Chain A
Amino acid sequence: MVEISAKSVYKIFSKKKGEVYALKDINLTIESGEKFGILGPSGAGKTTFMRIIAGLEAPTKGELLFDEKVVARNGKVIVGPESRNIGMVFQNWSLYPNMTAFDNIAFPLTNMKISKSEMRQKVEEVAKVLEISSVLEHYPRELSGGQQQRVALARAIVKSPSVLLLDEPFSNLDARIRDSARALVRDIAEKLRLTVIVVSHDPADIFSISNRVGVIFQGELVQVGKPEEIYNSPKSFHVARLIGEINELKGKVIEEDGKNILSIGNLAIPISGGYRGEVKVGIRPENLRLEEEPREEGWVEAGKVRVKITTYEGGHFKVTLTPLGDDQEIIVFMDKIPKEEEMKLFVRPSKIMFFKY
């Protein structure tokens, strides 16, 4: 296990049109044994950051430390990737096509001074945990996607790495087996007490594996915290949208009978807090409900909405609504198809997020 810290890390690519900042002033410490997620849209610099940790790239400015020992500084790699004891699962798995699954998994061990029998024992041990013992003599091209991913994972963990890096590890898997793969990775990491860094644009990967998340936007680390913290109180609308589905709405806060009311078209929601005038709010779909659905305490009626379209998605119906006299779209999820065209919308005011305009 190892503690990794980045101190004002920059990565600047010089292009013909000038300099492109892939990473800007990243300051971060990933504790030993932590499961850290890096979330960001594509092109945000998250893979670059992971490659810097792996030693495949050098930071243009700044330092990277492993257990307080400098491994890269100001454009120079001081400790190379081969000496950092890193296990990495690549996005496309990068299995050696000319070797069997066994040889793939054993490859990192051949670079260490250990005996043949010990090597075989270690490979078989890992294969057993990952349930790939039966395919060890097969070549990668003869394996299914899920098996290939397990072989890649086995290759990454067989040498007991001090840190396990996962670069979009599930994006090449079928949706059907993605969840079991996530559970497997989490269990293995737990069992081997590994420091894990997972990079993904899919919040599901982050939620299932990590206990702390850093959100990268245009090369900048915008927010670091627990996944649910970022989900419930994101720093910006971009972060909010990245970590889950959210309705972005423009409205106005007005005072009525001494109470603050958020008005969006014909919808009126009583809120607390000192917001005034034009506001931008974010409301997650689970905090909105149509009148047919059951509600506990804390829900208030917001007003009538018109059902625009209903689609089916992942086990429930996704309903697109608009307030009357306004064309902003609101998305809610339901267990059944809404019966009428105009219905009452309920909302949990405490869960509404306000963002800078």
Chain B
Amino acid sequence: MMRERRVLSPYTKSVLHYIALTIVSVIWLIPVYAMIINGFKSNLEVASSPVLVPPSHPTLSPYMAVAHVLETPIINSLIVAVIASLLSTILGSMGAYFFYVLSNSYFRGSGMLSNFLFSLIALGTFIPYEATLIPLTRFIVDINLLNSYPGLIVSMLIFYIPTAALLMSLFVTVVPKSLIEAARLDGAGDVKIFFKVILPLVIPGFISTLIFIIIESWNNFFLPLVLTTTPSMRLVPVAVEAYTGGYGTLYNETFAVATLASLIPLIIFIFLGRYFIRGLVALGGAGKGV
């Protein structure tokens, strides 16, 4: 005798799925919601009403008041984050290609060398910024780049090139080895193989990595905190932390600053998000290159 099993109808199942998804999304969105609505409250209301209650008389004045405060930091952040993430993603991708070629090379011990270097880089990715505070600062001071764009960019490259190499390795290794061999037999050098054959095939992965690193570098708080000395060089996260209003903490304005600061990564994600997802999908489907 078969035991009777209760089977959920497909309809009930999908309803349950959506309920679960909704709960998770709500939990994730509560802080964002609080940040946005509190920016629309007056200074009095933000202090007197509960944090999750929407404003009774919404006002734009906090946003107006802080807009100019973020102007310079946003420009600084854009310069640093865009240059640092583009450079680190390109160099990291080249690194990933190098490791892929090295691990497939016929030279004796090249596989071991590749593994060793790769582990070293992976380790580099997981070192906390704080642990490198003194040597990093000394290094940046020694090369005379403290409190400058190049200094910030160099310090970010140190951390994000390994991250990009690690992420891009996942995508590059999906490209069949025989394509590289074919290109080599066709007389192409490594630089050409990378730009003409590998890079076009890993574009979704490249964009995913780029977005990830833009957002990481945009949100990085520690490096700009220790490597900048003047307010004019501040990046967005430091500016947000430093903002307390004129003569005391104005919570509504702090919330407004935080909202504005989140806008840029949000816009990037909205425009490039589908590539991000596509990159991850390509990875899961073991992207058939041939």
Contacts and interface: CB of A to CB of B under 8 A. Distances in A.
Interface of A: 54-58, 75, 77, 80-84, 86-88, 90, 92-98, 107-108, 110-112, 140, 155, 159
Contact of A93 (B107, B185, B188, B290): B290
Interface residues of B, number: 22
B178 to A, nearest CB: 4
Contacts of B189: 82, 111
Nearest to A80: B184
Contacts of A56: 106, 181, 184-185
Interface in B247-290: 289-290
A96 B107 CA distance: 26
Of A81, A95, A112, most buried by chain B (CB within 10 Å of CB) is A81
A90 B289 CA distance: 15
B187 A111 contact: yes
Contacts of B187: 82-83, 108, 111-112, 159
A110 B187 CA distance: 9
B289 A97 contact: yes
A98 B176 CA distance: 13
A342 B189 CA distance: 68
Contact of A81 (B184, B196, B197, B200): B184
A82 B178 contact: no
B182 interface: yes
Q: Is the interface of A mostly helix, strand, loop or mixed?
A: loop
B114 to A, nearest CB: 16
A263 B276 CA distance: 74
Contact of A97 (B183, B185, B290): B290
A94 B186 contact: no
A155 B185 CA distance: 11
Contact of B176 (A55, A77, A88, A94): A94
B197 A82 contact: no
Nearest to A72: B106
B93 to A, nearest CB: 15
B146 interface: no
Given A93-B290, A97-B289, A107 B176 contact: no
A98 B182 contact: no
Contacts of A54: 181, 185
Nearest to B192: A111
Contact of A58 (B106, B181, B290): B106
A92 B106 contact: no
Contacts of B182: 88, 90, 94, 96, 155
